[in-house]
Structure 1
Amino acid sequence: MVTPHDAPLSPPPLAAPLAPPPSARTILKELAAFLSRPRVLAPWGLFRREAWAPLGVLLALHVGAMMLVILPFIALWQSHFGLPLPDAFGKLPGGWLLPITVLVAPLVEEAIFRGWQTGRPRALWLLACLLVLLVLGTTAKTLAPTVLGASLLALAAAALAGWLRLRRHGVPAAYRKAYPVVFWLVAVLFAAIHLMNYPATTALSLPMVLPQLWAAAMLGFTRQRLGLPAAILQHALANAASMALAMAG
């Protein structure tokens, strides 16, 4: 007689197979649909292995269109109209151009322009606190050290308290409805701010920030579909590609 202890062990259940990554065609169709009608999505996150292939597709499109279409066009535009070249990079200390462009700018710009675009109240609250911090930074020299220190501590406490209180709140319906307008307004603002890179601007200067408008569109989708870390990584790699092209002459 076979006792329970003598019975053969059944094989362990097989692990569920990983979902295949979406094809390039699928992700490009979703990108086109998103740009025609931006909407709030649930980001996959880079912890999912199948998210890396779409990131590669989006990065290739981002950099490829910029290198092969947009940058040649604005080079011709700048040359034809005799527009000045950007001078913002020349104001940076020696040796800081590469780390600021490839590391600092992607982190800061994505946090400010796209980190909150999920529309969750906690993200919007942190954006408001970040804007207050920027205002404090611009007025720091006019404040007494004790006032500045107390203001920073109060702001940090408010940011933490607001995040803890709002972290379980969902995306407001009003934000979802307004998101298409919000998305494109932020994209245009992101591009327009980069006009500050030029010593002088006119209406003819507007096409010179087409790379930033294109980046805002691509990174906005990446942020919604894959998450903020993916948008930061894509931004950093796209900036690195631009820097490599500039250094190559």
Structure 2
Amino acid sequence: MVQQCSEQMSGDNLGIALPTMSTTPSFDWRQEWRELKEFLKKPRRGRIASAPFSQTWRRFLLVFGIDIAIVLFVTLPLDSILDEWAGLESKLEINGKIALYGIVFAPIIEELVFRAGLRKAGYSLFIGPIFVACFAGSMLVVGALATILMSIAVIDKIRMRWVPEGNGRRFARGRAFIRHYPYVFWLYAIGFGLVHLGNFYSSNGRDYLLVFAISAQLSAGFLFAYLRLRQGLLSSILLHSLENGLFFALEMMSG
């Protein structure tokens, strides 16, 4: 009984679970769609119940299908409008090296930065923001942010050394992180989209419209994170790579 209570109060098991998951071998597409909508409304970090490959590949296919639908019915129409209104241009010069980086290396790096530590409070609050700031390209910003966050982390670590092991304050911090976890999830998803603003520019100076050019990246930030928390980091890396590969293929065909 004591061991059971201890397990329930430990790190990743603090009273959280993902939305109700199917435990039967069959895969219910409608149920999965409902779970996805519920999760995006109120994200939860939780350990993933093991599922057979027959379920995981169908979930992967569903998320990929939603991702492609958003690109076809939202991103491409918006890009056409932005071409007219903002003179939308891409800074990326598509070639073999860029495609290789985008399909192989970028998914690994970006998934490690934006989604690998989504379950860890220490990473999400102190380490992740520093790595995300690196995408801004300003070492001054990175240095300042790193100094502030690391100072807070060190002070908190020292302060907690004086808190007795059984003190409820230790668990209170974990419960606070879980309670506010949706904001952590949403901020990382939105941040993933925003760092891609640097891929575009407006040829007529209407840079304020460029935020509409990253609709695909914004939606991908949410969908990749959902798949990462449901099936693990490898699934989100594969989906990320597949989406980038499709993007480069379309760019090469149209260019």
TM-score w.r.t. length of structure 1: 0.68
Cα RMSD, aligned residues only: 3.2
| 1:41–1:224 Cα contact (<8 Å) kept | yes
Tell me the SS of whatever aligns to 1:116.
coil
Say whether residues 1:112 and 2:113 are aligned partners: yes
Q: How does 1:94-243 map to 2 (within 5 A)?
A: 94-119=95-120, 121=122, 127=127, 131=131, 172-200=174-202, 202-243=207-248
> Deviations for 1:41-67, whole angstroms, at most 9, x for unmatched residues?
32356875532221111112112321x
Instruction: Indicate conservation of the 8 Å contact 1:115/1:228, yes or no.
Output: yes
Paired with 1:130 and 1:64, the residues of 2 have a C-alpha distance of 33
1:69 and 2:73 equivalent? yes
Question: 3-state SS of the aligned residue for 1:85?
Answer: strand
Answer whether contact 2:111 2:237 (CA < 8 A) is retained.
Answer: yes
| CA separation of 1:188 and 1:53: change in aligned 2, threshold 3 A | same
Take 1:45 and 1:222, find their aligned partners in 2: how far apart are those partners? 14
> 1:209 and 1:124, CA in 2 relative to 1: closer, same or farther beyond 3 A?
closer
For 2:86 and 2:116, the matched residues in 1 are separated by: 37
Quote how far apart the aligned CAs of 1:220 are. Answer: 1.2
Q: CA deviation at 1:235?
A: 0.8
* Higher Cα radius of gyration: 1
Distance 1:202 1:21 in 2: 48
TM-superposed CA distance for 1:95, in Å, is: 2.2
Q: Does 1:60 align with 2:62?
A: no
Deviates more, 1:227-236 or 1:21-30: 21-30
Contact kept? 1:46, 1:229, Cα under 8 Å: no
- Listed as ranges, the gaps of 5+ residues in structure 1 are 1-17, 140-169
Contact kept? 2:124, 2:184, Cα under 8 Å: no
Amino acid corresponding to residue 83 of structure 2 in structure 1: S
Query: Is the deviation greater in 109-118 or in 68-77?
Result: 68-77
Q: Cα offset for 1:28?
A: 0.8
Shift of 1:24: 1.3
Letter in 2 for 1:113: F
Q: Indicate the percent of aligned positions where both proteins have the same amino acid.
A: 24
1:165-218 CA-to-partner distances (Å, cap 9, x unmatched) read: xxxxx9922221111111111122111111111245622111011111010011
What TM-score results when the alignment is normalised by the length of structure 2? 0.66
Show the counterpart of 2:37: 32
Q: Which letter maps to 1:179?
A: Y
Is the alpha carbon distance of 1:191 and 1:85 closer, same or farther for their aligned partners in structure 2, counting shifts above 3 Å? same
Shift of 1:96: 0.7
- Relative contact order: is structure 1 or structure 2 higher (C-alpha 8 Å, sep ≥ 6)? 1
**Can you give the 5+ residue segments of structure 2 that lack an aligned partner in the other structure?**
1-22, 140-170
Distance 1:52 1:118 in 2: 23
Counterpart of 1:207, as a letter, is: F
Please, which of 68, 78, 85 is the counterpart of residue 81 of structure 1?
Answer: 85
